[in-house]
Amino acid sequence: MKYTDLQIQTQREAPNNARTEGFAFLVRAGFLTRENEMLPLGQQAISRLQDLLKDPSLLFQLSLPLFTNEHETFFPLPTGDVEIAHCESCKYSERLELAQFKKKALPREDELPLEKVLTPDCNTIESLANFLSVPKEKTAKALMYTRVSDGQFVFIVVRGDMQLSEAKLRNIVGEIKLADAESVRRAGAEAGFASPIGLTNALIVVDELIPRSHNLVAGANEAGYHLKNTNYPRDYSAEIVADVTQAKVGDLCVNCGNPLSTLPAISLASDSGFQFDNILLALAETYHDEKGLALPKSAAPFDVYLMHVPGKTINTLEKAEEIYNALQSAGISVLFDNRDERAGVKFNDADLIGCPIRITAGEKALKDEMVELKLRTAAGGNIVLVEKILNLKDISEIL
Ligand SMILES: [Zn+2]
């Protein structure tokens, strides 16, 4: 393809909204606008990636630092929109909201009788734990939702020291929204003082840790009152007992017990397919130097950046055209910089765009029927016979 056909516009300066080097180079090289919209050169790069990843396993041969599990593959990036939990030791990686972790059960205790206590103004776990002088893990936290599909009231219990993961809950019961006051009242619950004891028509979901936690303080479903010593399943039953709590930094890896760390990332692939724009960004973050992108073979928009340096005695453009046509017929992908520009401008653009090979048709070498061939990642180039280039059958002969 010709440089002018793609209407490539390179930029001298990094955009001032660039938060990563990879993004800055994608904008400067003309793959993206600074508003992150794909330009024709970016589209070309994406279609090449789509071609490459017809064999999905090739993603793992691009030498990107990936975090992966059987459903999703992530690339770590400070500006990423996904928070992942990661285990250094066994490499367990998962979206934080879905990450599993080892939960610590409290020491076993004998079940004590229920006791209703006056707890004025204690409508949060913090105020309740303070008022009764009990640790938060000895309380039961109540959360109330409505299932969107059928309006079912859903009541969730997690231990007071833990947070609900709405993502895990959604995976179990379907799409949900916070319950409104009317649904709470209809089920027989009292906001701020709620528990599953004595509710009607509620789908009760308890975290897997609840059956292993004894004598918890829970709401009495009456304003101003709580119940001490609630026990599952003695005092209430649940339709679902499952992992519905959110992991945090330092929680223990479900596989090996090592503390989990968290980091921001972008998602490159999931069960629903590849996110090619994110893969392009991951490549740009990984493969660049101070001059621009330096993309690996078959992940670059083109294998070859072909350019001519306008000459005085030799028609270098014509010679470059000949090389362009020969390479195209051999099935090699070429970006032909056919502009009437100074060598320096073209060299800079070649470095910015980052094709693995640059071929330069200049007057001096052409006098000897030679052209310059330079690898993007090499310091200097070599002079080779034009004839050798014209007879290339595959890019692997020079890469
Ligand atoms: Zn682990």
Q: Which amino acid is at 388?
A: K
- Average of per-residue pLDDT values in the chain: 95
CA of 101 to the centre of ligand 1 (A): 9
CA of 158 to the centre of ligand 1 (A): 24
Q: Is the peptide bond before 301 cis (omega within 30 degrees of 0)?
A: no
CA of 80 to the centre of ligand 1 (A): 23
Domains and CATH numbers, the chain: 21-98+262-289 (no CATH), 115-242 (3.90.960.10), 304-397 (3.40.50.800)
Residue 276: what pLDDT?
A: 97
CA of 89 to the centre of ligand 1 (A): 5
Residue 298: what pLDDT?
A: 83
Instruction: Decide if 317 contacts 307 (C-beta within 8 A).
Output: no
CA of 299 to the centre of ligand 1 (A): 32
CA of 77 to the centre of ligand 1 (A): 21
Strand 252-253 relative to strand 240-242: parallel, antiparallel, unpaired?
unpaired
Residue 158: what pLDDT?
A: 98
CA of 259 to the centre of ligand 1 (A): 8
Q: Which residues face 240 on adjacent strands? A: 205
Closest residue by Cα to residue 32 from 287, 280, 390, 331: 280
CA of 4 to the centre of ligand 1 (A): 52
CA of 91 to the centre of ligand 1 (A): 6
Say which residues have a Cβ less than 8 Å from residue 149's Cβ, sequence separation at least 6. Answer: 174, 175
Say which residues have a Cβ less than 8 Å from residue 35's Cβ, sequence separation at least 6. Answer: none
CA of 156 to the centre of ligand 1 (A): 28
CA of 12 to the centre of ligand 1 (A): 45
CA of 128 to the centre of ligand 1 (A): 35
Residue 395: what pLDDT?
A: 87
> What is the band of 398 on the pLDDT scale with cuts at 50, 70, 90?
confident
Instruction: Give the span between the Cα atoms of 98 and 264, in whole angstroms.
Output: 15
CA of 60 to the centre of ligand 1 (A): 21
Q: What is the mean pLDDT of residues 341-354?
A: 96
Q: What is the mean pLDDT of residues 347-357?
A: 97
Output the pTM of the full model. Answer: 0.88
Instruction: Give the span between the Cα atoms of 378 and 202, in whole angstroms.
Output: 67
CA of 86 to the centre of ligand 1 (A): 8
Instruction: Give the span between the Cα atoms of 135 and 213, in whole angstroms.
Output: 13
CA of 64 to the centre of ligand 1 (A): 21
Q: What is the mean pLDDT of residues 281-298?
A: 96
CA of 252 to the centre of ligand 1 (A): 8
CA of 53 to the centre of ligand 1 (A): 29
CA of 254 to the centre of ligand 1 (A): 6
CA of 83 to the centre of ligand 1 (A): 17
| Residues 27-54 pLDDT 10s | 999 999 999 999 999 999 999 999 999 9
CA of 242 to the centre of ligand 1 (A): 21
> What is the band of 69 on the pLDDT scale with cuts at 50, 70, 90?
very high
CA of 85 to the centre of ligand 1 (A): 10
| Residues 260-272 pLDDT 10s | 999 999 999 999 9
| Residues 205-244 pLDDT 10s | 999 999 999 999 999 999 999 999 999 999 999 999 999 9
